Structure 1
Amino acid sequence: MTSIALTIAGSDSGGGAGIQADIKAMSALGVFGASVITAVTAQNTQAVTAVHGVPLDMVRAQIDAVLSDLDVSAIKIGMLATPQIIDTVGMAIKDYAGPVVLDPVMIAKSGDALLATEAVDTLRSVLLPRATLVTPNLPEAGVLLGRPSAENTETMTSQGQALCKLGAQSVLMKGGHAKGDLCHDILLENGTVSAEFTAPRQDTRNTHGTGCTLSSSIAAGLAKGLLMQEAVAEAHTYLQGAIAAADALTVGSGHGPVHHFHQVWAT
């Protein structure tokens, strides 16, 4: 039986993040990736120069087409851009019974905005309660809660619990934006810390697409039938390898992508 995961996200013309990163990561982990494109971005390793939202009826048509035919075992949701697209996605997946991984994408690695300010409330009210897992980085968690970004593991844990109270079944608080030589991620399930993942901070600027890659990798694990802790552990290990191999790629002159196929081919 083929494991299938669906990514609902924006397209990255530079190939390092968004839909492109999601399908690469899913494929690398042995899962067939289907896609629904919510926005087209003109983007490279240096900047996002233009964003064009896909018409709402086309977003809905893509979702309906995939879910009516493919046996999708997990959904990953990334860039949604506007309140209207968020509402459309929420309605389209309301009867979907499988796990949903929500990556609340707000800012590109270049610093460009990927989510309208007025869309935050809609994301919080429509999709957060629908999520099996939410994977915010520290600034994103802070925005969702209206609080400053967490600066230590205690605050990360309390903010993760607060996101669970807003309706998310599980939350993975990603510590990549914190300071220190170690990167610390905390997984909470039903408001309780169930696992922690620590890795040395790697000295590279080539980290474009790390959030997309991690969330889609978790969705791939869930699509294969892994338990939440197992899926997050597999994805964490895979991403660390992809970051470690990132400098072997020579893609662009800004924040380059991670090496999604580091286990398959080397440069």
Structure 2
Amino acid sequence: MKTTPIALTIAGSDSGGGAGIQADLKAFSANHVYGASVITAVTAQNTCKVTAVHAIPADVVRAQIDAVLSDLKPQVIKLGMLFSPAIIRTVANALSGYDGMVILDPVMIAKSGDALLQEDAVEALKSELLPRADLLTPNLPEAACLLGRDVAQDLTSQEDQARALLALGPKAVLMKGGHSTGVTCTDLLLAGPTAPLLLSAPRVNTRNTHGTGCTYSAAIAAQLAQGLPLPAAVTAAHGYLQQAIIAADQLTIGSGHGPVHHFYAVWS
């Protein structure tokens, strides 16, 4: 019997549906992979702001992970919003026997500017999970926060920060360039001492970019779950996200930063 590709997301819930668990499951499905989920926090959130965050008790997070891993056997796990040191440690411990790939998207700030990671959780994230990650996918502000540096302003500093992050333990780092300025956005994938892979696309003039980071990392997870090597998986996910952003204005969702169009290829 053919094995069904499965990806698991461990992240927070976005009640507005544009980011977090909801975006991950949409991206998994749009990229032809079955999605499972573990919810770490419930946010009261829409396209304008986050009004409340409730962390799921650590023992319940662990129970969800154990339930999934004892039965579903995901090829890839994507980590998103983890919120607190206790949840980070719980996730790290629960994954100690997992031998599949792990993607860590260090979710810290919502598109609205609201915090999604407690200040004292950054060090726990660095010590507990960065060494376990097969791929770390920070945007430029997240990379700067993890390193205690200023935000990278050009490709040279972007690569320098990627190498500094690589030294903290992950097998590969994808520096996402969406927060840069200019008419072109360039992402940088670094997987060792060799030259990085650069992925560039024209900047799309839209405010509907809520959930882009979640969607990107989830799409990469889906491609890896189907057996693609990392560079090909990132390239395919990059193309998918670009089209989802281009199609975002076909949707009319909320009055703030709306979501990307995860199902642009199947909705008429």
TM-score (norm 2): 0.98
In the other structure, the counterpart of 1:12 is 14
Report the AA paired with residue 209 of structure 1. G
Instruction: Give the whole-Å Cα distance in 2 for the aligned partners of 1:190 and 1:98.
Output: 20
8 Å Cα contact 1:47/1:110 also seen in 2: yes
- Partners of 2:180 and 2:109 in 1: CA distance: 16
Matching residue of 1:257:
259
CA distance in 2: counterparts of 1:256 and 1:240, whole angstroms: 15
- Matches of 1:183 and 1:210, distance apart in 2: 13
Number of the residue aligned with 2:212: 210
Work out whether 1:181 is the aligned partner of 2:161. Answer: no
Check whether the contact 1:170–1:191 (CA below 8 A) recurs between aligned residues.
no
| Partners of 2:96 and 2:174 in 1: CA distance | 23
Given the alignment, which residue of 24, 47, 50 partners 1:48?
A: 50
Give the equivalent residue in structure 2 for 1:78. Answer: 80
Equivalent position amino acid for 2:241 in 1:
L
Aligned to 1:112: 114
Check conservation: 1:45, 1:254, Cα contact below 8 A.
Answer: yes
Partner of 2:146: 144
Counterpart-to-counterpart distance in 1, 2:88 and 2:194: 28
Does the 8 Å contact 1:164/1:191 carry over to 2?
Answer: no
Other structure's SS at 1:183 match = strand
Counterparts of 2:105 and 2:195 in 1: how far apart (Å)? 19
- SS of 1:101 mapped into structure 2: strand
Q: Give me the whole-angstrom Cα distance separating, in 2, the residues matched to 1:103 and 1:75.
A: 11
Aligned residues of 1:160 and 1:191 also touching (Cα < 8 A): no
Q: How large is the RMSD of aligned CA atoms in angstroms?
A: 0.7
- Offset, 1:191: 4.3
| AA partner of residue 61 (structure 1) | A
Whole-Å Cα distance in 2 between the matches of residues 103 and 240 of structure 1?
A: 18
Per-residue CA deviations over 1:98-123 (Å, capped at 9, x if unaligned) read 11000000000000000011100000
Is 1:164 the equivalent of 2:166?
yes
Aligned partner of residue 234 in structure 2, secondary structure: helix
Q: Partners in 1 of 2:207 and 2:196 — Cα distance?
A: 31
Displacement of 1:193 after TM fit?
3.3
User: Where does the alignment leave 5 or more consecutive residues of structure 2 unmatched?
Assistant: none
One-letter amino acid matched to 2:224:
L
1:95 CA drift (Å): 1.1
The structure 2 residue matched to 1:239, chosen from 230, 238, 241, is 241
1:224 positional shift: 0.5
Secondary structure of 2:186's aligned partner:
strand
Aligned equivalents of 2:126, 2:84: Cα separation in 1: 13
SS of the residue aligned with 1:193? coil
Cα offset for 1:192?
3.4
Aligned counterpart for 1:91 among listed residues 90, 93, 110? 93
For 1:95 and 1:155, the matched residues in 2 are separated by 36
Q: Deviations over 1:64-112 (max 9, x none)?
A: 0000000210000000000110000000001111110000000000000
- In the superposition, the TM-score normalised over structure 1's length comes to 0.99
In the TM superposition, structure 1's runs of 4+ consecutive aligned residues that sit over 2 Å from their partners are 190-194
Give per-residue Cα distances to partners, 1:168-191, cap 9 Å, x unaligned.
100000111111100000000024
Identity rate, percent = 65
Residue by residue, what CA displacement relative to the aligned partner does 1:198-223 show, whole Å, maximum 9, x if unpaired? 00000000000000000000011111
Q: Distance in 1 between matches of 2:222 and 2:74?
A: 11
Query: Which SS does the other structure have where 1:192 is aligned?
Result: coil
Matched position secondary structure for 1:25: helix
Q: 2:164 aligned with 1:131, yes or no?
A: no
Q: Secondary structure at the match of 2:125?
A: helix
